[in-house]
Amino acid sequence: MLEQLRQVTQAVSFADGQQQKLDVIVAEICRALDVEVCSVYIADYQLHQFVLMATRGLNPESVGQVKLGFNEGLVGLIGQREEPIHVQQASQHPAYRHIPEIREDEFNAFLGVPIIHQRKVLGVLVIQQKAPRQFELDEETFLITLAAQLSTILSSSEINEWFEQPPNEYFARIVRGVPASAGVAIGKARVLFPLENIHSIPDRQTDDIEGELTKLGAAVKATHRQLEKMSRRMQGRVSEQELALFDAYQQILGSKGLAVEVEEVIRKGFWAATALRKVVQKHLNAFKLMQDPYLRERANDIEDLANRVLAQLLSSPHGRQKIEPGTIVVAENITAAMLADLPANDIVGIVSLKGSSTSHAAILAKALGVPAIMGLEACPITRMDSKQLIVDGYNGQLFVSPNQTLVNQYQVLLDEERQFAQELSQDQHLPNATRDGMKVNLMINSSLGTDSSRARQTGADGIGLYRTEIPFMQLDQFPSEDVQACIYRDLLQEFEGLPVTIRTLDIGGDKQLSYFPIEEENPFLGWRGVRVTLDHPEIFLVQLRAIFKASEGCEGFKLALPMVTTLEELNESYRLINQAFDEVEEELAAIGKRVTKPQVGLILEVPATLFQLKSFAKRVDFISVGTNDLIQYLMAVDRNNLRVKNLYSHFQPAILRVLKQIAHECEHAQIPLQICGEMAADPLASLLLVGMGYNELSMNIGSLAKVKRAISRFELSEMQQLVAEIEAFETEAKVRDHLLKTMEKRGLGGLVRAGN
């Protein structure tokens, strides 16, 4: 059963275009379940009807013609109830509707299941059989399982269809995702893809057809040579039969094989790698539809061969194109490390299929001030290369090949945004304070060399969080003590006179070092932060020594420890901090220099620490709440998992209660309290935080002016009142709604949405 399921979904995913996918579905299901009829009805939400879009066994001419209202027939009933319906004699069911043109009179047994994606019915899958009979339970579960798997493929192929159509003045192609970095961008897409996977190659066109043909020729030759070498190496080690595989590869590739077809596609104006993908996918589709398991397996050979040619193609210096100014980068999964590597000044927008608002790539995008959308699960990025895009980072909407009217509208928003930023910059000289003058420290979260003059201009009170792992990600080995000392010295000198909090290495989770991969089933519940550095004192001590050396002559910097869970970890961290400090102090004293011991703080992000807060508070100098992780652990929601993204919100009543409790306990313990998670960057949330007693908020530089404006327009007592008001709300939506209304009433709506 599992193998049949795999075969069907694989065949469907390789089919090109919505119609072909549907045709493959019905054919494959008839084959797998040995039934006489299989049909797919697709929901049309504009006309509130199901349309028969593919069938095996019924009248093929009725495809596209037969339509059933959402309340009509057995199909309508399945859609309404969102559950399977199974009958022995369909015509005797009260909901049955007779439609002569589909010619189903002779089919009695009927089983239909809904195809649902993210709570929305996309269609209905039906099987029918002449003999009045009960379908077996495992046939029903097979169909339900298949429908659940097909829903993702179908929902993305719906979007795929738009790319087939020419741009339309009245029809905007919108792909929805998660707003990851606020702002609006209009630009040209550049798809970043993994080099080793033929299926990830984007559609890219070229004017240089001769150049692409030459590249292909060279890549094919190199692959031939590689295969010959492999074949020679294997001689005597494997059987003749297995050696024959290399000959088969050579033939497929040979002068009349794959290469010729790829050349033809290149001549139509495609990049060599794109042409290769198109040809190979065509063959794979054919192979994967074959009944013979041996022949189906040959699909893997073709794929392997294609990846070899691809590797040769992309290894040439012109294999990948450069990022040009004004680019919107698009990728399956943009990581913080990838972003750190790109030319930041040339990128105006970021689109990533995976990730969410608090994934570290999103945090970096915010730090760079680049609008970003993440989590667009169903988006065919291979078709987006070179297309014009609009990134609406406020609403998480991506517009592909937008019409001119839309471009003009967004251009207006962009202009308004710039104007608004300019207007906000007029507050720069004002103190960071509430309307009644209570000082609130507004700090910056930094990592990629925050421009200190810009930071000073915005009126930042210092660096509240410096993420040391980001420079580690840009390198290909652990940086030495000297290299690190240079990085930290630059930071401390740039912000001289202002407080700076340096967080020790926080790798793990979605922050990976290419040279120190951590592979785990559950990375966010695994080896992260101090859990790694305490297990590797040699790495931790080098970092601590570098920080202390860099701090020579600087006062007022602090050290923060990530992912501390127990007091033992804290004690052990102190032991290593003291050891490194003593060593550096002694070394520097020998040359007449001195260092000052920094304050040490806890990043409060593991819920367990909440229950020992008093004990932690006795041992550290300050507490900085890392809401990004605290929320994921309190709500049991992976901060990068889109399926559960609706649960991940700092306005969840439970989260607000916890934050209030922390503020209360820290006040009682008289310990300085800061917040450094993304929540602090949300102007709406900042009102609540200040009202709860957080008087130091650390955020990305791009949000500071907005947060400053928000808190400067409310008196402390009003923010406290707001905290009291939202306590009555039991749902996230009500809290958010109340805050939005409060903001709009003050004329501050522009702080949390696009445009005036």
Count the residues in the chain.
756
Q: Is the dihedral of CA 709, 713, 715, 718 positive or negative?
A: negative
Cβ distance to ligand PEP smaller for residue 458 or 501: 501
Cβ distance to ligand PEP smaller for residue 410 or 651: 651
- Please identify, among the stretches 161-169, 582-590, 629-637, 695-703, the one whose residues bind Mg ion according to the rule CB under 5 A: 629-637
The verdict on 469 binding Mg ion (CB under 5 A) reads: no
Q: Phi and psi dihedrals of 8, rounded to 5?
A: -65, -50
- Which residue's Cβ has the minimum distance to ligand PEP? 626
Sequence-distant contacts of 436-441: CB under 8 A, at least 24 apart: 436/715, 436/716, 436/717, 438/695, 438/716, 439/695, 440/690, 440/695, 440/696, 440/697, 440/711, 441/674, 441/695, 441/696, 441/697
Cβ distance to Mg ion smaller for residue 104 or 605: 605
Cβ distance to ligand PEP smaller for residue 263 or 506: 506
Exposure on the CB side of residue 76, measured as CA atoms within 13 A: 15
Q: Smallest distance from the beta carbon of 608 to ligand PEP, in angstroms?
A: 15
Q: Smallest distance from the beta carbon of 536 to Mg ion, in angstroms?
A: 19
- Please identify, among the stretches 285-293, 413-421, 516-524, 626-634, the one whose residues bind Mg ion according to the rule CB under 5 A: 626-634
Instruction: Name the residue with tokens 């310990």.
Output: 671
Please state at what angle helix 732-745 crosses helix 683-692, rounded to 10 degrees.
100
Q: Are 455 and 701 in contact (CB under 8 A)?
A: yes
Report the partner that residue 676 touches, choosing among Mg ion, ligand PEP, none (CB closer than 5 to 8 A by kind).
ligand PEP
- Please identify, among the stretches 346-354, 406-414, 597-605, 679-687, the one whose residues bind Mg ion according to the rule CB under 5 A: 597-605
**Which residues pair with residue 331 across a beta bridge?**
192, 352
Cβ distance to ligand PEP smaller for residue 366 or 549: 366
Q: Smallest distance from the beta carbon of 687 to Mg ion, in angstroms?
A: 23
Tell me the chain's radius of gyration from C-alpha atoms.
Answer: 30
Amino acid at 732: E
Site residues (CB under 6 A) for ligand PEP, limited to 409-468: 465, 467
Report the partner that residue 677 touches, choosing among ligand PEP, Mg ion, none (CB closer than 5 to 8 A by kind).
ligand PEP
**Which residues pair with residue 327 across a beta bridge?**
188, 347
Cβ distance to ligand PEP smaller for residue 458 or 698: 698
Contact map string, positions 457 to 486, toward ligand PEP, x by CB under 6 A? --------x-x-------------------
Cβ distance to ligand PEP smaller for residue 220 or 676: 676
Exposure on the CB side of residue 345, measured as CA atoms within 13 A: 0
Cβ distance to ligand PEP smaller for residue 62 or 628: 628
Q: Smallest distance from the beta carbon of 681 to ligand PEP, in angstroms?
A: 11
Q: Smallest distance from the beta carbon of 334 to ligand PEP, in angstroms?
A: 16
**Using CA atoms, how far apart are residues 38 and 384, in angstroms rounded to an integer?**
34
- Which residue's Cβ has the minimum distance to Mg ion? 629
In order, the DSSP letters of 514-566 are: TTB----SSGGGSS-THHHHHH-HHHHHHHHHHHHHHTTT--SEEEEETT--S
Size of the residue set binding ligand PEP (CB under 6 A): 11
Amino acid at 283: H
Task: Please identify which residue in 76, 177, 479, 626 interacts with Mg ion, judged by CB under 5 A.
Answer: 626
Q: Smallest distance from the beta carbon of 628 to ligand PEP, in angstroms?
A: 3
Task: Please identify which residue in 28, 303, 569, 629 interacts with ligand PEP, judged by CB under 6 A.
Answer: 629
Please state at what angle helix 653-669 crosses helix 627-635, rounded to 10 degrees.
120
**Using CA atoms, how far apart are residues 51 and 68, in angstroms rounded to an integer?**
6
Q: Smallest distance from the beta carbon of 658 to ligand PEP, in angstroms?
A: 13
Dihedral (Cα; 540, 543, 544, 547), 10-degree rounding: -160
Size of the residue set binding Mg ion (CB under 5 A): 3
Cβ distance to Mg ion smaller for residue 281 or 335: 335
Q: Are 224 and 253 in contact (CB under 8 A)?
A: yes
Contact map string, positions 609 to 628, toward ligand PEP, x by CB under 6 A? -----------------xxx
Site residues (CB under 6 A) for ligand PEP, limited to 315-374: 363
Report the partner that residue 73 touches, choosing among ligand PEP, Mg ion, none (CB closer than 5 to 8 A by kind).
none
The verdict on 559 binding ligand PEP (CB under 6 A) reads: no
Q: Are 190 and 244 in contact (CB under 8 A)?
A: no
Q: Smallest distance from the beta carbon of 602 to ligand PEP, in angstroms?
A: 12
DSSP H or E run through 559: strand 557-561
Site residues (CB under 6 A) for ligand PEP, limited to 492-531: 506
**250, burial (CB in 10 Å: exposed 0-12, middle 13-18, buried 19+):** middle
Show which residues are catalytic.
360, 676
Sheet holding 67-69, edge to edge: 67-69, 49-56, 37-44, 120-129, 109-117, 85-87
Task: Please identify which residue in 460, 584, 676, 752 interacts with ligand PEP, judged by CB under 6 A.
Answer: 676
Please state at what angle helix 272-288 crosses helix 2-14, rounded to 10 degrees.
140
**Which residues pair with residue 174 across a beta bridge?**
399
Q: Smallest distance from the beta carbon of 629 to Mg ion, in angstroms?
A: 4
Q: Smallest distance from the beta carbon of 147 to ligand PEP, in angstroms?
A: 38
Q: Are 186 and 410 in contact (CB under 8 A)?
A: yes
The verdict on 629 binding Mg ion (CB under 5 A) reads: yes
Quote the tokens at residue 576: 């290593």
- Please identify, among the stretches 516-524, 591-599, 601-609, 727-735, the one whose residues bind Mg ion according to the rule CB under 5 A: 601-609
Site residues for ligand PEP per CB under 6 A: 363, 465, 467, 506, 605, 626-629, 676-677
Site residues for Mg ion per CB under 5 A: 605, 626, 629
